[in-house]
A and B are shown apart, each in its own frame.
Chain A
Amino acid sequence: MIRNLTWHIKGVLLLACCLFLALPAGAMDSPEALTIDTLADLYQGVEFDHQMHVDLAQDCSACHHHTTGTGTIDLYCARCHDSMEEQATVACQDCHLADPFSAAAIQAKGETNHFHVDIYGLKGAYHRNCMGCHEQMDGPTGCQDCHARTEAGDAFYHSGKFAPLAAGATHEEH
């Protein structure tokens, strides 16, 4: 009797696992972790725990808009993107330009359709996508909480070993 029960529980658990894997088709082939480093320069790349964010987010579209085949939670986008099909690409950098203000990008902006005129560049997309939730859910929000600054970054910010000698001294400049 007890054996039977445990067998049943095992069966139910197995079935639940199968269902969980079968339902979110996009999540099934989603990466466990990835390194976001295409823009790394002043800061190192980010080691991104994708699976942890999949578990936390209620819906893939919270980050991936309408591309993962899970619909979209943004009603404004849903007016056009109501299809549930997974798009050919779901990577941020395939839609969000790394160089959104180049002459070519600005020229194209004037010729593109009405709705995708005001989309973020890649850097803006990364940061804005993270920041909203991180502030609400007490995630890290400081620059170096997610990516350590490089030596080039220290030089850029005149910080660390590049800090001004009289750091901390304030005097009127006006």
Chain B
Amino acid sequence: MSKLSRRRFLAGSLAGCAAVMAAPAKNALASGNLAGFPDGMGVLVDLTRCVGCRSCEAACNKEQQLPAPDQPFDDYSVFDQTFHHGTQKRRPTEKAYTVVNRYESKLSDKPIYRKIQCNHCNEPACLTSCFVGAYTKTKEGAVIYNSKVCVGCRNCMIACPFHVPAYSYSSATDPVVKKCIFCYDTRVKHGKPPACVEICPSQALVFGKRAELLKIARERIERHPGKYQDEIYGEKEVGGTSWLYLSGVPFEDVGFDTSLQKEPIINNVKDFLATVPMVLAIWPALFTGFHLLSTKGKKHGEEDQHAEKHEGGEQ
């Protein structure tokens, strides 16, 4: 009788275990394929159109009410600035959520300019790395953050595959992470384009639904053979980004990281993370059950006797 129930118990517990394991794994896979919100907005950046005027930097500064720049926005000597012994060009900072850099390529007789800002990933690594949940991916596509709950741990700065979030090191009392928010509060939420897109004199930036922008980008590549690289940067990178790029020269020539995985960053740890609740919640109950069953046949008296013997031995 007791043997049969134990067998049943084991079979039942194994089946339950398998069901628990299968369920989160399935969810994890499904969310890993998220292609962004269906009507999510984005920006298509065409590097062949950018003239390097830095108007987008000025517009961002004004819109986000950032501190005055160190140099005027019509000072093009900033393109010569390099950091870390010439290995790094300008990057977004707490005072500038977007910067334009100049690049040279063997395939172009003219310099190429590239605007850098948050790419607003479909599955943001900053968001998943944030343990206070400061980040939000809005249905409009913007990756925004709540600086009131930010504790300044800077996990997001390490997690971001594009090295975008900056930190307000200048603030001794309340340092927080700072980055481009797609002009969410003041513009995108209300159906208006970001300030940088609106100011661009060359229409190097096109604001629209991400799905439509992909179509436009493919059409440009098709209509102008030889003008563009046959690739849209951001279509697949780290699971896709709201900001997309077209370039006339190889993307690595203009500072893009072309070695990034096509899967969202979170997919690297999702399978493991799915097992954590199972281990924490199921294992204690399961092994307690095993223990209770394995000790069921034994009478308490035996243990008592054993204890008495043990005590007697000591005496």
Contacts and interface: CB of A to CB of B under 8 A. Distances in A.
Task: Please determine whether chains A and B interact with each other in the same assembly.
Answer: yes
Interface of A: 76, 100-103, 106, 109-110, 117-118, 120-121, 123-125, 127-128, 131, 143, 156-159, 162-164, 166-174
Contact of A131 (B51, B71, B93, B197): B51
Interface string B83-95: 1100010010101
A17 B284 CA distance: 100
Interface of B: 49, 51, 53, 55, 58-59, 61-62, 68-75, 78, 81, 83-84, 88, 91, 93, 95, 191-193, 197-198, 200-203, 206-209, 212, 215-216, 219-220, 223
B223 to A, nearest CB: 7
Given A109-B208, A143-B53, A127 B202 contact: yes
B192 A121 contact: no
Chain A CB count within 10 A is highest, among B207, B208, B223, for B208
A174 B91 contact: yes
A168 to B, nearest CB: 7
Is chain A's binding surface mostly helix, strand, loop or mixed?
loop
Contact of A164 (B58, B69, B203): B69
Contact of A158 (B69, B198, B207): B69
B72 A156 contact: no
A101 B81 contact: no
B203 A109 contact: no
B131 to A, nearest CB: 25
Nearest to B71: A167
A81 to B, nearest CB: 16
A128 B68 contact: no
15 contacts: A106-B212, A124-B201, A125-B203, A127-B202, A128-B49, A131-B51, A157-B55, A158-B73, A159-B72, A162-B72, A164-B69, A164-B71, A168-B75, A170-B78, A173-B95
Contacts of A174: 83-84, 88, 91, 93
